[in-house]
Amino acid sequence: MRILVAVKRVADFNARIRVNAEGTGVDLSNVKMAMNPFDEIAVEAALRLREAGAASEVVVVSVGEASVSEAVRAAFAMGADRGIVVRADGRVEPLAVAKILAAIAKREEAGLVILGKQAIDDDANQTGQMLAALAGWPIATFASEITIDGAALTVTREIDGGHETLRMAMPAVVTADLRLNQPRYASLPNIMKAKKKPIDEMTVGDLGIDTAPRLRVLKVAPPADRKAGVKVSSATELVERLRAETGVL
Ligand code: AMP
């Protein structure tokens, strides 16, 4: 069975993000980029399934400008076997990515597609769900455990107040949550091998997919600066201030 993993290249989670001068997006010049952290967890999950003998190949796919191949190479350095880059310029919305992934999953005859639960740049949390709907496959979002037993997939999901365990047929879609695993560090032999592994490059045009935006960004603004705190000298003063400033006590 082949597992497809979707990896997005995003601003590193530690990077300081600045809104651009026009207020239409963020300024990514000179910002360190990295694989979306939830996608690293998705790659790790796929590698563990391959190592357990439940899958024969892990193929990673990334959609975007030429530089997204760096996310694919980072997945190679973890141990992924093969990569696909689908070139698309500008902002690619979750629906467009989902259409592309649906086309690739069918073409690759993937038995399982694993995605991150969300990309930490736009925080959409939509692509996996849209992919499952377009492909007509079952989905388990927010996975904290994945097991494959023959043709059956069992996924434990993190839900409000606990866990839910689902069993479904494959092909299926799973989105990875934080506690699914701890991604491995790239090993030196894999880093060396990563340079030589093949990346199949294609364009959205080759796939015949319409990626025209459905959304218009009206405005992007940084969060308001936090006001400086005030030190109070006693609990009585604290209560008085809260009463005066919030009116709730
Ligand atoms: P989102 O719905 O944008 O929050 O993204 C959820 C997941 O979809 C990500 O964690 C990735 O696994 C996948 N994904 C989103 N955008 C891309 C992209 N441009 N290329 C590859 N995978 C993507």
Cβ < 6 Å from ligand 1: which residues? Answer: 6-8, 36, 38-39, 42, 62-64, 92, 94, 97, 115-116, 118-119, 122, 124-128
Closest residue to atom 12 of ligand 1, CA basis: 115
What integer best gives the mean pLDDT of the chain? 95
At a CB cut-off of 8 Å and minimum separation 6, what does 101 contact?
4, 6, 61, 63, 113, 115, 127, 131
- Cα 124 to ligand 1 centroid, rounded to whole Å: 9
Choose among 30, 1, 34, 35: nearest CA to 16: 30
- Cα 227 to ligand 1 centroid, rounded to whole Å: 35
Q: How far is CA 62 from CA 12, 108, 189, 191, 199, in A?
A: 16, 14, 23, 19, 10
pLDDT score of 227 more than 90: no
Task: Out of 97-106, 141-150, 218-227, pick the least confident.
Answer: 218-227
Report d(CA 151, CA 153) in Å as an integer: 7
pLDDT at 53: 96
- Asked if 35 and 9 count as a contact pair (C-beta separation under 8 A), the reply is yes
- Cα 141 to ligand 1 centroid, rounded to whole Å: 13
- Asked if 76 and 83 count as a contact pair (C-beta separation under 8 A), the reply is yes
Closest residue to atom 23 of ligand 1, CA basis: 8
Closest residue to atom 10 of ligand 1, CA basis: 116
pLDDT score of 249 more than 80: no
- Cα 85 to ligand 1 centroid, rounded to whole Å: 13
Closest residue to atom 17 of ligand 1, CA basis: 8
Average of pLDDT values for 172-187? 97
- Give the mutation target among 43, 65, 97 for probing the ligand 1 site: most ligand atoms within 8 A of CB: 97
pLDDT at 23: 92
- Cα 7 to ligand 1 centroid, rounded to whole Å: 6
- Cα 231 to ligand 1 centroid, rounded to whole Å: 44
Average of pLDDT values for 11-25? 93
Report d(CA 173, CA 170) in Å as an integer: 8
Give me 237's structure tokens: 């003063």
What's the pTM? 0.92
pLDDT confidence bin for 248, thresholds 50/70/90:
confident
Average of pLDDT values for 100-112? 98
Q: What angle do CA 9, 13, 14 make, to 5 degrees?
A: 130
Residue count of the chain: 249
Phi, psi (deg, nearest 5) at residue 14: -90, -10
Report d(CA 3, CA 112) in Å as an integer: 5
Average of pLDDT values for 60-76? 97
**Better-predicted residue by pLDDT, 24 or 165:** 165
